[in-house]
Chains A and B, each alone.
Chain A
């Protein structure tokens, strides 16, 4: 018999009620596989940071169990935490200390023997080596975020949490971050990251979980998820009123507005199919001799998706 691979992290019935009564997590069940990149997708206040805090020790859980590396985290926290790294959402460190010393400190704090060459490697991989002697407060915001990442990597964690790694960083740094995470995957590190952006989950993750109001609504393979989540919406404003849609458009999910002045497309699946179909609809309109004066196209927002998911769940229940 082939042994079933054990999840690296196994969360069951995790509930967190903050003092004051706010239920930030509502019996969350989640299994994380070894070596995967898992994206936790959710709007502000969904409970993402709370979930990470519950695993990493900042949050006292109200009920539920967490197993890490096959052992109960509540009992074996000391050995488990040595193997977990965390990049928090907010900056937080001794601003007056230097980059290299802070990273070395983190390594020691997590119980690893000093290793200057490993610290150098981490700093180089994050383009921080030139800045190693600088006081952290003198670095730019993006650089400070990199220091946080360097601190989290200094003890070579097997399981890494990244709480909104790309919030407030420019496009270049974002790409860079994605590359970094790719490199970590190569090394076999399991990564759990949170994000507000569907594109980010799409770009990086193997699997995606959607969380809202403390409830984990859906967990699935990225591709499956994108098919379910993705929606493209396009509005063509017509030059002249139309009484009915031309036959060429019959095969597309399009509708004509009541006033006959707007053609509306709603479809696609997050794999680029929507965008291609909008282009095809535009061509079909032109070929049918219908003139449009404006085209407004957008991908469905996270909020649209949550509304959709909650409705679906409501129906299923």
Chain B
């Protein structure tokens, strides 16, 4: 039986930790996104034609949202589990009546919640700069939640794996951000010359960005079914990895 009180305690504790750093964790993504809108949306976007019938400023909204979602979900969840390992507070989690379910729902749920709040703030900020509407709002919400949860799971794995702060930041900085930039955030992949348009399809982030773009504008470079399927598969893999981590106690129990 899952221990709901423990789950809720972890969830609340994580959210209160976020609240302590609310300034940095909200202001910085909002500022970064605003800069992108000013530079790409307003300054450069004015000279770019519509992409697939969508004005360029609006076209980059889902990609920018994805950029923040991926990096924030990953780093929040990884810090959440890395910090107790670093300070020694992990003893309490290990000795508590919590297993994989409670820990995941607590830590990953909190990280995903924070990502959702951020997503809402970013979408609101975007309205200041560009005019856009969302074709399938409910679908968009579900998709955002799915991505936030998947990458919070990835972050959790990173936080268990990392043995120092550099490693903790390596994956978001060196892998996720570049792949997102190359993943069609600022362009549609059929704008790429051959063979780059084919090569781009090997980048998994392409499917995420396009999945979200489909929920916004009803069409994208790849089919929504493929995007959704890949996201779900990724989520399942992360859950499986974490279940193994808990079963074996890897990096958590000595």
**A interface residue numbers (CB < 8 A to B):** 18, 53, 56-60, 77-82, 84, 86, 88, 90-97, 101, 105-113, 151
Do B88 and A88 have beta carbons less than 8 Å apart? yes
Instruction: Write the nearest CB–CB distance from B26 to chain A, whole angstroms.
Output: 18
Do B95 and A106 have beta carbons less than 8 Å apart? no
A113 to B4, CA, bound (A): 10
Do B20 and A78 have beta carbons less than 8 Å apart? no
**B interface residue numbers (CB < 8 A to A):** 1, 3, 5-6, 8-10, 12-13, 16-17, 20, 83-84, 87-99, 249, 253-254
Partner among B1, B16, B95 whose Cβ is within 8 Å of the Cβ of A84: B95
A60 to B253, CA, bound (A): 6
**Closest 4 pairs (CB-CB, A-B):** A92-B88, A108-B9, A56-B95, A81-B97
A91 to B84, CA, bound (A): 12
Do A60 and B254 have beta carbons less than 8 Å apart? yes
If the complex has contacts A92-B89, A105-B13, A113-B5, are A57 and B94 also in contact, measured as CB distance less than 8 A?
yes
Residue from the set B6, B12, B96 with the largest chain A CB neighbour count within 10 Å: B96
Partner among B9, B16, B20, B99 whose Cβ is within 8 Å of the Cβ of A109: B9
**Does more than half of chain A's interface fall in helix, strand or loop, or is it mixed?**
loop
* B1 to chain A: closest residue by CB: A78
Do B254 and A59 have beta carbons less than 8 Å apart? yes
A88 to B89, CA, bound (A): 10
Do B253 and A81 have beta carbons less than 8 Å apart? no
Residue from the set B12, B88, B93, B97 with the largest chain A CB neighbour count within 10 Å: B97
Instruction: Write the nearest CB–CB distance from A21 to chain B, whole angstroms.
Output: 14
- Given A77-B97, A108-B13, A110-B97, 4 other A-B contacts at CB below 8 A? A92-B89, A92-B92, A109-B93, A151-B92
- Using Cβ atoms and an 8 Å threshold, which residues of chain A touch B10? 109
Do A93 and B89 have beta carbons less than 8 Å apart? yes
A101 to B15, CA, bound (A): 13
Do A94 and B254 have beta carbons less than 8 Å apart? no
If the complex has contacts A58-B253, A58-B254, A81-B96, are A112 and B90 also in contact, measured as CB distance less than 8 A?
no
- Using Cβ atoms and an 8 Å threshold, which residues of chain B touch A53? 254
A78 to B251, CA, bound (A): 21
Do A108 and B6 have beta carbons less than 8 Å apart? yes
A96 to B3, CA, bound (A): 27
